[in-house]
Amino acid sequence: MAKISINLATGSLQKEEIIVGIDLGTTNSLVAFINPDKNPQVINDAGKGILVPSVVYFNNQNDVVVGNEAKEFLTTDPTNTIFSVKRLLGRSYNDVADHKAIFSYKIIDDDTDSLVKIQAGNRFYTPIELSAEILKELKARAEHALKTPVNRAVITVPAYFNDSQRQATRDAGKLAGLDVMRIVNEPTAASLAYGIGLDPSQQKTIAVYDLGGGTFDVSILQIQNGIFEVLATNGNTYLGGDDFDRLILNYWIEKNNLNLAEVAEDNILMQTLRLKAESAKKALSTQNLFNEQVGEIWCTLDKQTFEQLIAAKVEETITACKNALADASLTSNDIDEVILVGGSTRTPFVKQAVENFFGKTPQDNINPDEVVALGAAIQADVLAGNRSDILLLDVTPLSLGIETMGGLMDVIIARNSKVPTKAGRQYTTSLDGQINMKISVYQGERDLVKENRKLAEFDLKGIPAMPAGLPKVDINFLLNADGILTVQAIELRSGVKQEIEITPSYGLSDDTVEKMLIDSITHAKSDVEQRMLIEARSEGEQLLYTAERFIEKHAEHLTASEIAETKIHIEALKTALASQEKDAILKKADELNEFTRPFAERVMDAAISTAMKGKKIE
Ligand code: AMP
């Protein structure tokens, strides 16, 4: 039974607010909720259908329509009909430039790393605004069907979505008037829909194989103590059922002795044939032969030929499964369950290939189009406090850290750390009287920040003037379950504090992540050498600064010969610094340190001597 509470002010019964689960898909989107019988259920508002095509159309008055109605304009007004907007969420033009041929609408080419915009009519839209239109439609359908306002939702995203794409999804929700309670990975939602992970004592390793209309991904999840951890993901964001349709269409064109370029000129004919190819494909999921005509064109296809046509594409998905297993350091024997997601897994040949590879029958009882939304509804129910607590865990693909002296990367959250996570470290100033500290946040595996990706930069202002090394600045990183990073800097003596939430200005593609990792391995040796030299230089320069200030400030406590000899050591260190020789710098720094140590102990308080060793931010 749904929880009913009484509103004490009015004395009336109040229904508990429903949190819906939304699968915001590339091809189709849908919304689900937990019904009064405690079961997840997809919403079919007024028989309009469960799946809402993720298509947005703007007419010349800039009025918007979404879903099936918008889909009809794909052939008649393609430049103002936006599909596949999920591919653009949180991405820059540079991220999508290689695939721009598939978009029939105008993506603004500013050749930069800022987020893309789309032109429809005389207006420009961000993918966030366009996704918000789809979410508004889902919200309206849910409200209409459930006869109650819907203000809160869980939205799913692919496991490989990066911070920027997750943040963009969250922003789209906000713009649609939804309080996004959680961004959940699609494979996690699918596994929840099958009830896997709901019992905290359960330990399982599962593979989620998701083949939709235009995208494919496979995720390996480990579930224990109610925690879902993504061990690996792999796939191809430009592979799906649409490719099967294209292969069928090309086959018919060839069999009918037609010329593809000529047929392609006739937009309407092309679209009709494409839809026919899709029906053939769907029909062949349950029968052995498809035989229809479009005008004079014979559209005949038997199951065996269809399977030959798609074999190479299906094999590609199996290779991705192999790679995912290898990345997770597992073999197919380690996989306890295989779950099928996405409409294209209805093709028996696909199902069989997955079964052959993993050596077990995949789970396919739940409608593969609905399974993610149903799981999202279950997660929403967990968040509403209606089920025992389930955590969601992910790993961060690249290390996160800040820039320290000499442009070095100081890692605070290491790559592959489980999220949510927090970590922090203490820093200090490098100059006397320093009142501002610049904090630059980077992502990547290289030792030098300039080789990594800058996420953000901010100043911690208003540190009270103190000698170098005295302020204690705690820098804390908090990476939440959605993969969004909050960085906080606080000077402990004064309590001065600054906090930022990081929304990277552009996304990282899987390829970029991979390249960054490979680079870090190829350059490991030279990186270490550079790091050691930079560390030696920073230490030397800091010592020089402290020693020079020291003899200036404390001259009255020192003898003339102590001052003169310190100056000789200072000069020697300066020469070594100019030489860029790490060993020479360390040697001269050591000598200066050893020589001045007795005077320092004499006159300095412990704080300054700690400072000489501590890490500094420029
Ligand atoms: P999705 O993106 O998960 O909604 O998947 C949509 C894809 O599934 C499209 O390419 C559809 O043509 C395909 N699909 C839907 N039903 C079937 C079916 N019965 N057999 C094969 N493919 C299907």
Q: Give CA–CA dist 135/178, Å, rounded.
A: 9
Active site (annotated) includes residue 370:
no
Specify the residue with its C-alpha closest to ligand 1, atom 15: 343
For residues 223 and 188, the answer to whether their CB atoms sit within 8 Å is no
Residue-wise pLDDT tens digits, 38-51: 999 999 998 899 99
The pLDDT mean for the chain works out to 87
- Is the CATH code 1.20.1270.10 the one for domain 526-612? yes
Cα(275) to centroid(ligand 1), Å = 12
Q: Which long-range CB contacts under 8 A does 307-315 form with residues at least 24 apart?
A: 307/349, 309/244, 309/247, 309/248, 309/251, 310/243, 310/244, 310/247, 310/347, 310/349, 311/349, 313/239, 313/243, 313/244, 313/247, 314/349, 314/350, 314/353, 315/353
CB 406 less than 6 A from any atom of ligand 1: no
Query: pLDDT higher for 321 or 422?
Result: 321
Active site (annotated) includes residue 282:
no
The answer to whether the 13-194+368-383 and 199-361 domains have the same CATH topology is yes
For residues 50 and 343, the answer to whether their CB atoms sit within 8 Å is no
For the domain spanning 13-194+368-383, the CATH number is 3.30.420.40
Percent of the chain's residues with pLDDT above 70:
89
Q: For residue 26, give the ligand 1 atom closest to its CA.
A: 2
Q: Is the pLDDT of residue 271 over 90?
A: no
pTM of the full structure: 0.67
Cα(442) to centroid(ligand 1), Å = 40
Cα(162) to centroid(ligand 1), Å = 26
Active site (annotated) includes residue 265:
no
CB 243 less than 6 A from any atom of ligand 1: no
For residues 133 and 472, the answer to whether their CB atoms sit within 8 Å is no
CB 84 less than 6 A from any atom of ligand 1: no
Which of the residue ranges 12-26, 188-202, 504-518, 589-603 would you say has the lowest mean pLDDT? Answer: 504-518
Burial class (CB in 10 A: 0-12, 13-18, 19+), 224: middle
Query: pLDDT higher for 225 or 131?
Result: 131
Q: Give CA–CA dist 457/442, Å, rounded.
A: 9
- Mutation test of ligand 1: which of 42, 71, 286, 346 has the most ligand atoms closer than 8 Å to its C-beta? 346
From 163, 210, 370, 535, the catalytic residue: 210
Active site (annotated) includes residue 72:
no
Q: For residue 241, give the ligand 1 atom closest to its CA.
A: 10
Task: Decide which of 1.10.10.10, 1.20.1440.120, 2.60.15.10, 2.60.34.10 is the CATH code for 400-511.
Answer: 2.60.34.10
Architecture label for domain 199-361: 2-Layer Sandwich (3.30)
Q: Give CA–CA dist 381/187, Å, rounded.
A: 17
Domain residue extents for the chain? 13-194+368-383, 199-361, 400-511, 526-612
pLDDT for 281: 98
Average pLDDT of the residues in 262-286: 93
